[in-house]
């Protein structure tokens, strides 16, 4: 199974109100019918507050081994 790209993750997170913590990102993804792969990836990023899409992308890239 391929890792979701940060673009796929950002599409899933469209409309998130920042700042938001990891749990908020996971809830948003689930409520917008994100794939299980995206939800699992978001569950693995650091538990902190994210101030925007760039911060989420950096965490996702690092977690997925792309950085």
Taking 90 as the threshold, does the pLDDT of residue 14 lie above it?
Answer: yes
- What pLDDT does 1 receive? 52
Domain residue ranges of the chain, discontinuous segments joined by +: 7-63
The pTM of the full predicted model, rounded to 2 decimals, is 0.89
Count of H helices and E strands in the chain?
4, 2
Query: Three-class SS of residue 49?
Result: strand
Task: Report the candidate in 33, 67, 31, 32 with the shortest Cα–Cα distance to residue 45.
Answer: 67
- What pLDDT does 7 receive? 86
Q: What is the pLDDT of residues 25-67, one digit of tens each?
A: 999 999 999 999 999 999 999 999 999 999 999 999 888 776 5
- What pLDDT does 67 receive? 54
- What pLDDT does 59 receive? 94
Name the DSSP class of 13.
T
Backbone angles phi, psi at 39, to 5 degrees: -60, -45
């Amino acid at each position: 199974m391929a890792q979701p790209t940060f673009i796929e993750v950002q599409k899933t997170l469209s409309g998130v109100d920042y700042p938001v913590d990891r749990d908020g990102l996971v809830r948003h993804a689930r409520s917008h019918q994100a794939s299980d792969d995206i939800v699992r990836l978001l569950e693995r990023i650091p538990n902190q507050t994210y101030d925007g899409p760039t911060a989420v992308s950096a965490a996702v890239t690092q977690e997925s081994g792309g950085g």
